[in-house]
A and B are shown apart, each in its own frame.
Chain A
Amino acid sequence: MHPFQYQRADSADQAVAAVAKTPGATFIAGGTSHLDLMKEDVHHPSLLVDVSALPLKQITAFEGGVRIGAGVSNTAAAYHPDLQQRYAAMSEALLAGASVQIRNMASMAGNPLQRTRCPYFRDPAQACNKRTPGSGCAAIGGYNHVHALFGASKACIATHPSDLAVALAALDARVQTTGPRTIAFPELLRLPGDTPHLDTVLEHGELITAIDLPAFAGRSHYLKVRERASYAYALVSCAVALEMDGPKIRRARVALGGVAHKPWRVGPAEALLAGQLPTEQLFQAAANAAFADAKPLEHNAYKIPMGRNLMVRALLETSGLQPMQGPAGTAFAASVGGVAGRLATPR
Chain B
Amino acid sequence: MTTQATGKPLDRVDGRLKVTGAARFTAEWDVPNLAYGAVASSAIAHGTVRSIDVSAARKAPGVLAVLTHENAPRLQPIPEKIGETQFRGEGGISETLQPLQTAAIEYAGQPLAVVVADTHERARYAATLVRVAYEERPPQLAMATASRKTLPEMFLGNSKEKLQVTIGKPKSALAAAPVKVERVYESAITHHNPIEQLATVARWEKRGGADFLTLYDTTRGIEVLQEVMATSLGLPKESVHIICPFIGGAFGSKGWLYAPPLLTAMAARAVGRPVKIEWRRQDMFAVAGQRAATRQTLALGATRAGKITALQHDTQTHSSLSSGFTEPCARLTRMMYAVPNISFTHQLSHLHLPSPCPMRGPGETVGSWALECAMDELATELNLDPVELRLRNYADKNPETGKPWSSKNLRQCYARGKELIGWDQRNPKPRSMREGTQLIGYGMASTMYPAGRGEAQARATIFADGRALVQSATHELGNGAYTIFRQISADALSLPIERVRFELGDSALPSAPTTGGSVTTATVGPAAQAAARAALAALKNLAVRDAESPLFGAATEAIDAQEGRLVLKTNPAKGEEYGAILRRAKLPSVIAMGGAKPGEEKDKYSFYSFGAVFAQVRVDEASGSIRVARLCAVYDAGRLMNPKTAHSQIIGGMAMGVGATLMEATHYDPRNGRAVVRNLADYHVPSCADTPDMTVEWLNIPDPHISELGARGIGEIGCVGTPAAITNAVFHATGRRLRSLPLTPDKLAFS
Contacts from A to B (Cβ < 8 Å): 1-3, 36, 39-41, 117, 119-120, 122-126, 138, 141-143, 145, 225-233, 235, 301-303, 305-306, 309-310, 313, 322-323, 335-343, 346-347
Given contacts A120-B676, A301-B750, A309-B749, contact A40 B282 (CB under 8 A): yes
Determine whether the beta carbon of A306 is less than 8 Å from that of B627: no
Q: How many interface residues does chain B have, given as a range?
A: 35 or more
Residues of chain B contacted by A117 (CB below 8 angstroms)? 681-682
CB A196 to nearest CB in B, in angstroms, measures: 18
> Is B379 an interface residue when CB atoms closer than 8 A count as contact?
no
Determine whether the beta carbon of B628 is less than 8 Å from that of A340: yes
Report the Cα distance A336→B672, complex, angstroms: 35
List 20 A-B pairs, Cβ < 8 Å: A1-B124, A125-B108, A126-B669, A143-B676, A228-B689, A229-B687, A229-B690, A230-B687, A232-B684, A306-B623, A306-B750, A313-B622, A337-B623, A338-B627, A339-B627, A339-B689, A339-B690, A340-B689, A342-B629, A342-B630
Residues of chain A contacted by B108 (CB below 8 angstroms)? 125
> Is B686 an interface residue when CB atoms closer than 8 A count as contact?
yes
Residue of B nearest to A347 (CB): B436
Report the Cα distance A310→B682, complex, angstroms: 22
Residues of chain B contacted by A226 (CB below 8 angstroms)? 745
> Is B80 an interface residue when CB atoms closer than 8 A count as contact?
no
CB A299 to nearest CB in B, in angstroms, measures: 9
> Is B573 an interface residue when CB atoms closer than 8 A count as contact?
no
Given contacts A2-B128, A225-B745, A306-B745, contact A231 B627 (CB under 8 A): no
Residues of chain A contacted by B622 (CB below 8 angstroms)? 309-310, 313
Residues of chain A contacted by B128 (CB below 8 angstroms)? 2, 41, 124
Report the Cα distance A303→B674, complex, angstroms: 25
Report the Cα distance A230→B108, complex, angstroms: 31
Closest 9 pairs (CB-CB, A-B): A337-B625, A302-B746, A229-B689, A125-B43, A230-B689, A302-B750, A347-B436, A309-B622, A339-B689
Determine whether the beta carbon of B687 is less than 8 Å from that of A228: yes
Report the Cα distance A70→B441, complex, angstroms: 46
Residue of B nearest to A339 (CB): B689
Determine whether the beta carbon of B670 is less than 8 Å from that of A233: no
Residue of B nearest to A44 (CB): B128
CB A331 to nearest CB in B, in angstroms, measures: 9
CB B631 to nearest CB in A, in angstroms, measures: 9
Given contacts A230-B689, A342-B693, contact A305 B749 (CB under 8 A): yes
Residues of chain B contacted by A310 (CB below 8 angstroms)? 622-623
Residue of B nearest to A223 (CB): B623
Residues of chain B contacted by A225 (CB below 8 angstroms)? 623-625, 745
Residue of B nearest to A323 (CB): B436
Residues of chain B contacted by A302 (CB below 8 angstroms)? 624, 745-746, 749-750
Determine whether the beta carbon of A340 is less than 8 Å from that of B692: yes
Residues of chain B contacted by A305 (CB below 8 angstroms)? 749-750
Report the Cα distance A244→B606, complex, angstroms: 71
Residues of chain B contacted by A335 (CB below 8 angstroms)? 689
Residues of chain A contacted by B693 (CB below 8 angstroms)? 341-342
Report the Cα distance A293→B686, complex, angstroms: 35
Residues of chain B contacted by A120 (CB below 8 angstroms)? 676
Given contacts A142-B669, A143-B667, contact A227 B627 (CB under 8 A): no
Report the Cα distance A322→B688, complex, angstroms: 28
Given contacts A227-B744, A309-B622, A343-B629, contact A233 B686 (CB under 8 A): no
Residues of chain B contacted by A1 (CB below 8 angstroms)? 121, 124-125
Report the Cα distance A109→B681, complex, angstroms: 21
Residues of B45-60 at the interface with A, using a CB-CB cut-off of 8 Å, are none
Residues of B607-629 at the interface with A, using a CB-CB cut-off of 8 Å, are 618, 620, 622-629
Given contacts A1-B121, A120-B676, A305-B750, contact A143 B623 (CB under 8 A): no
B619-647 CB mask vs A (1 if < 8 Å, else 0) is 01011111111100000000000000000
Interface centre among B121, B435, B688, B745 (most CB of A within 10 A): B745
Determine whether the beta carbon of A338 is less than 8 Å from that of B750: no
> Is B544 an interface residue when CB atoms closer than 8 A count as contact?
no
> Is B165 an interface residue when CB atoms closer than 8 A count as contact?
no
Report the Cα distance A310→B621, complex, angstroms: 11
Given contacts A2-B125, A143-B669, A346-B435, contact A337 B684 (CB under 8 A): no
Determine whether the beta carbon of B629 is less than 8 Å from that of A341: yes
Residue of B nearest to A124 (CB): B128
Determine whether the beta carbon of A229 is less than 8 Å from that of B681: no
CB B371 to nearest CB in A, in angstroms, measures: 25
Determine whether the beta carbon of B690 is less than 8 Å from that of A235: no
Determine whether the beta carbon of A227 is less than 8 Å from that of B750: no
> Is B677 an interface residue when CB atoms closer than 8 A count as contact?
yes
Residue of A nearest to B675 (CB): A123
Report the Cα distance A342→B691, complex, angstroms: 11
B82-108 CB mask vs A (1 if < 8 Å, else 0) is 000000000000000000000000001
CB A235 to nearest CB in B, in angstroms, measures: 6
Residues of chain A contacted by B684 (CB below 8 angstroms)? 227-228, 232
Residues of chain B contacted by A143 (CB below 8 angstroms)? 667, 669-670, 676
CB A332 to nearest CB in B, in angstroms, measures: 10
> Is B671 an interface residue when CB atoms closer than 8 A count as contact?
yes
Report the Cα distance A1→B678, complex, angstroms: 17
Residues of B642-681 at the interface with A, using a CB-CB cut-off of 8 Å, are 658, 662-663, 667, 669-672, 674, 676-679, 681
Residue of A nearest to B124 (CB): A1
CB A232 to nearest CB in B, in angstroms, measures: 6
Report the Cα distance A231→B684, complex, angstroms: 9
Determine whether the beta carbon of B618 is less than 8 Å from that of A343: yes
Residues of chain B contacted by A122 (CB below 8 angstroms)? 678-679
Determine whether the beta carbon of B686 is less than 8 Å from that of A228: yes
Report the Cα distance A3→B319, complex, angstroms: 39
Residue of B nearest to A144 (CB): B676
Identify which of A3, A145, A235 contacts B125 (C-beta below 8 A).
A3
Report the Cα distance A227→B690, complex, angstroms: 10
CB A250 to nearest CB in B, in angstroms, measures: 27
Determine whether the beta carbon of A227 is less than 8 Å from that of B663: yes
Determine whether the beta carbon of A231 is less than 8 Å from that of B618: no
Determine whether the beta carbon of A119 is less than 8 Å from that of B678: yes
Determine whether the beta carbon of B618 is less than 8 Å from that of A338: yes
CB A21 to nearest CB in B, in angstroms, measures: 25
Determine whether the beta carbon of B667 is less than 8 Å from that of A306: no
Interface centre among A2, A40, A228, A322 (most CB of B within 10 A): A228
Residues of chain B contacted by A40 (CB below 8 angstroms)? 282, 679
Report the Cα distance A305→B671, complex, angstroms: 28
Residues of chain A contacted by B620 (CB below 8 angstroms)? 336-338
Given contacts A122-B679, A123-B674, A306-B749, contact A336 B689 (CB under 8 A): no
Residue of B nearest to A300 (CB): B746
Residues of chain A contacted by B682 (CB below 8 angstroms)? 117, 119, 233
Determine whether the beta carbon of A340 is less than 8 Å from that of B623: no
Determine whether the beta carbon of A336 is less than 8 Å from that of B623: yes
Determine whether the beta carbon of A126 is less than 8 Å from that of B750: no
Determine whether the beta carbon of A119 is less than 8 Å from that of B629: no
Residue of A nearest to B668 (CB): A143
Report the Cα distance A232→B688, complex, angstroms: 13
CB B504 to nearest CB in A, in angstroms, measures: 33
Determine whether the beta carbon of A231 is less than 8 Å from that of B676: no
CB A76 to nearest CB in B, in angstroms, measures: 22
Determine whether the beta carbon of A230 is less than 8 Å from that of B690: yes
CB A136 to nearest CB in B, in angstroms, measures: 12
Identify which of B280, B676, B681, B746 contacts A306 (C-beta below 8 A).
B746
CB A32 to nearest CB in B, in angstroms, measures: 10
Interface centre among A230, A231, A303 (most CB of B within 10 A): A231
Residues of chain A contacted by B667 (CB below 8 angstroms)? 143, 145
CB B687 to nearest CB in A, in angstroms, measures: 4
Given contacts A227-B745, A228-B687, A233-B682, contact A138 B669 (CB under 8 A): yes
Report the Cα distance A235→B624, complex, angstroms: 11
Residue of B nearest to A342 (CB): B629
Report the Cα distance A196→B580, complex, angstroms: 80
